[in-house]
Amino acid sequence: MILRPLQRLTCLGAVALLAACTMQQTTPPASSPAPTAPASAPAKPAETPTPATDLQRLHQQAMRGDLESQFQLGNQYFVGKPEKNLQQAAYWWKQAADKGHAQAAVSLAFLYTGRADPALADPLAMLKYLNQAAAAGNAMAQHVLGSMYAQGTEGVQKDLYQARALYQSACDKQYAPSCEALKKLPAN
């Protein structure tokens, strides 16, 4: 039957979309200009932060336990800045996710699908972190998990009631794919 592979592709596509959205980098707010030196003092050249110092600063903040820095450092390793290292990405995302960072949990769930590296595939951990992110209110995680329940895929037993609840929660957050999925979901 062709429907089953199509459902699996749809679910995996949603997880890939989920990971892509969480990988978007946020631009730090612009800092106020530095005060100017008096006219008698020689002007110092402005120090422009280099990517290496930015990464070092991010690593230091992550080591101190800053959740957002841990998440961002995981992102850097995932996309290959300075180097692609999925084990390091998993490590830093897990640090943040285990302390409640929902986006890190979503990213970790994607990594555990095995799509980026089959050696990292861990279906139970994928479901754990996807559930964690959904429970924390992440609309995309709610949608992906709702799709799994609607289709009965990825080790999740089909449960239209649970799928509807997850879709509704994501739709309430203006997540359009969930609003559309609710319209297509059969009545209980």
Model confidence at 52, in pLDDT bands (50, 70, 90)? low
Q: How many CA atoms lie within 13 A of 149 on its CB side?
A: 24
Model confidence at 54, in pLDDT bands (50, 70, 90)? confident
Q: Are 125 and 94 contacting, i.e. CB atoms less than 8 angstroms apart? A: no
* The predicted structure's pLDDT at residue 49: 55
* The predicted structure's pLDDT at residue 186: 86
Q: Is 10 exposed, middle or buried (0-12, 13-18, 19+ CB in 10 A)?
A: middle
DSSP summary character for residue 63? H
Q: Residues 74-97: pLDDT tens digits?
A: 999 999 987 899 999 999 999 999
Q: Residues 94-120: pLDDT tens digits?
A: 999 999 999 999 999 999 999 999 999
> What pTM was estimated for this model as a whole?
0.71
Query: Mean pLDDT, to the nearest integer, of 162-177?
Result: 96
Give all domains of the chain, ordered by start, each with its CATH number.
8-22+52-184 (1.25.40.10)
